[in-house]
Structure 1
Amino acid sequence: MLIFSALCAVAAGLCLGGRLSRIERAGISWLPLPVAALIFRLIALSLNFNYAGNVALVFSYGFLFLFLVKNRHLHLPMLAIGLGSILNFTVIAANGFHMPVSAQAATALTAQGYHSLLAGEIPMYTLAGETTRLGFLGDIIWFPIPLFRGFASAGDILMTAGVIVLILRVMAPTRPAKLFAGRKRADAPNSPEA
């Protein structure tokens, strides 16, 4: 969901006259931090979220939070990404470093996928049950777009909204302003003839 939305935001930004090269003007600093966060998350996945994998996941979130703090001047997008990350980390940590998937969302899986989830064979995920803590913060939504299928939580939605706003702010689209200016000129009353 996050990747799909980010790609859509980039496409929309380009269509509206934005440029990715304008990132230097956006005032974003410490860009290696989210890269490090992604690397440590991949390490956690490769370790199948054993003890070392859980430590790697904590470092991943740590790098991400540090990046958000360093760029807090961007306000709304960083706030949304930060809040979404906190919600996700909270529910994962509360459930043995596994993201609970609601039974209703899990019905979208194939029979084999459901069995794998139930057997704990999908890294980082577990089927929500009576002992699940903060289940409402878990993955409760099925995202059906081909190639990007997956589950989404309330935290994911907040993070996605923040990423979309951040991308559009960085790309600084120009066409909406031009269209608005053109409309104002068109709506302006004609000056009286001399």
Structure 2
Amino acid sequence: MILLFFALAGILIATLMNLFHGEKNRYQNIMEIRGLWLPILGLALELPFSCFPAFAAKVGWLFTISSYLCIFAFLILNRKKRIPVSLIGLGAFCNFFVIACNGWRMPVSARALSVYQNITAEAVYAKRANYFVASNGANFSFLSDILYIPVPRIGGFISIGDLLLGLGTAFFIIQILADKSAWEK
């Protein structure tokens, strides 16, 4: 959900930049994006974790690796957008790394989760099979979901990787939709 927030922020910022320069959004530039179906497929490969948690828990590594391969392939295809692709790539790598180092599940900080009353480790696992509460610690826990975002309907917990992914996504959208002359001034 937080990634959607960053995408919408990128659209809004590009629109404001274009309005300031007397231009319209450059929707025709969307054709410059190569392999747009790859991140969509990558996100779809995450659905079994919330829709079929018992099944996904058995082969979580398969869904996780497939999902991140889609994301990394998209980044390679769009490598000309250096800054946004670098941010997205670093964020995706951070998330993949911490997930791989913790049995193919993302740790959620027990301290961060304490802001919710009556949320147990079982409730977290029942909602998303690829998460666990790191009450006894986790490998590379500083990369796990430790940042609390207190915004209703959008908020929750994010990792440093999620933050980098979001910023990279916003910059990517801005580079696509904003008038090129806005970058040169």
TM-score scaled to structure 1, two decimals?
0.80
Contact 1:86 1:155 in 2 (8 A): yes
Structure 2: where are the runs of 5+ without partners? 19-23
8 Å Cα contact 1:117-1:125 kept in structure 2: no
1:71 and 2:75 are equivalent in the alignment: no
Deviation at 1:95, TM superposition (A): 1.2
SS at match of 1:165: helix
SS in 2 for 1:73: coil
Quick check: which has more Rg, 1 or 2? 1
Q: 1:115 aligns with which of 98, 120, 145?
A: 120
In 2, Cα distance between equivalents of 1:108 and 1:64: 32
Letter in 1 for 2:110: A
2:139 pairs with one of 118, 133, 156: 133
Pairing of 1:37-186 with structure 2 (within 5 A): 37-48=42-53, 49-109=56-116, 111-112=117-118, 114-116=119-121, 120-123=125-128, 124-173=130-179
1:35 alignment partner, one of 40, 62, 74: 40
Q: Which residue of 2 aligns with 1:5?
A: 6
Identity percentage over the alignment? 30
Change (3 A) 1:46 1:16: same
Aligned equivalents of 2:183 and 2:171: distance in 1? Answer: 17
Q: Which residue in the other structure is 1:19 paired with?
A: 25
The more displaced of 34-43 and 68-77 is: 34-43
- Number of equivalent positions: 176
Contact 1:44–1:52 at 8 Å: present in 2 too? Answer: no
* C-alpha distance 153-74 of structure 1, shift in aligned 2 (>3 A): same
Following TM superposition, by how much is the alpha carbon of 1:176 offset from its aligned partner in structure 2, in angstroms?
5.3
* Distance in structure 1 (CA, Å) of the matches to 2:157 and 2:29: 30
RMSD over aligned Cα atoms: 2.3
> TM-score normalised to the size of structure 2?
0.84
- Deviation per CA, 1:60-88: give whole Å up to 9, x if none: 11111111011111111011101100110
